[in-house]
Structure 1
Amino acid sequence: MSRSTRAVLEVIALGPEDATAAQAGGADRLEVVTDMAADGLTPPVRTFAGIRAAVDLDLRVMLRLADGFAAGEADRLVGAAGELRAAGADQFVLGFLGPDGGVDLGAVERVVAALDGCRWTFHRAIDRAADRAALRKQLADLPGLDCYLTAGSASGVDDGLPTLLAEARRRGQPGYRQRLLVGGGLRLDHVPSLLAAGIDGFHIGGAARPGGWGEPVSAAAVTRWRETLDASRP
């Protein structure tokens, strides 16, 4: 199955060792982060550069300064984006909510302007949003947005599956033209129903590390996901 027709498998990478194993296992793309104790923050430029030198996969780099979904200091976010862009980063991950649970559109727009057309994912902040449909409508026309990383629920794919399937049925409608990248409590047994619904993006972190977050990515674990995705594709 060619890369152009198979489902996208994205793996979280914390460093070059993770990246090399993920590529060997058949990952298509990496989400580059640091500090998983805070659910993934912006990595140092040197971490991005080391991963970039180690693999030739697409890299989506996190823009997030602290645990939670508040934007924090917009100047720092814009500065981090600029430093990473200067180091060669051309794809990103971000997402900010205000105190009311609505999208912090001002912060998102400011950071996106600094990305200057780069492709980016709105991450699982959507799963904590007060109104998913309203968030999608507000973000629909922002340049570069091509993906939502979501479990369909803040508690994970088990609870979010009905939402994911409902959103998949709306693919192509305004606000629903972006790829669904499913992650957050994702298991291999979820794959057949998601693929059958036309969902073609899958994101794994802990599932790529059978030994836990203290251990590196396992190429064998990634291979299992790659083979399952390819075998289950309609």
Structure 2
Amino acid sequence: MVLQIRVNNEAPKPGPELLEEHGLSWSLVKRALISGRAGFFEYTESDIPGARGMGTLTRVVSLLSESTKTGGLSEYIRIDDHGQVVFLRGQNVKERFVVMTGDSATGTAVQPCTMSPKGSMTSKKIDINIDLLGGQPSDMLLPASTGAFTSSVIPDDDYVYTWFLLFYIDGMTGTVRSEFSLADEYETMSDGKCQIRHYEKRIILPDISREDGLEKLIKPVDPTAYDNGFEVSRRNGSK
């Protein structure tokens, strides 16, 4: 497990700085997570099952998706991969990331899992990670250009590292914990779904407290902005 990356025995770089190396700014990710938290607290037990989780995730993904068009996430494009939203980085660096909700271990020293088991699209991405890292995936996956006869041949554009932007919202305190991590191990469940169990690299991001909301990211209105120049005199009731 790698929480921080050391370079030449220097002090480990902080999470936001490491995130920048992957073409993401912490300020953008933070805004997306705060938006997701706002959605999280809009839902109640009266809503349909799963509505809170899906609504929260949708807000995070939507803000990041919009940022691929407005410039905040200009190095990435959004791709809908069989129902899974993937953010693919440009031609120079072959990597992508997926946003998922994690369990309570997210952003801590403990290896986290996703909040719920995932499907084959996730396990295939992790298999590619394992192969790129020099390990042995459960089902050998090689880029089509190699010409190798394999049980699963995938396009070159799909043969890239997949990182996972995991986040967890503490319903009691409102704190959001998150990390940007490279999964390299999963467990296959009885129903065929998978549960991520280990990450080769983990970039732990700063906690977002309840008080650290959107109001701190919006410039306060200047109270003199609507000053019309008139002076108002107070009446004291005397004649």
TM (normalized to structure 2)?
A: 0.30
Q: Considering fraction of residues, name the structure with more helix.
A: 1
Computing the radius of gyration over CA atoms, which structure comes out larger, 1 or 2? 2
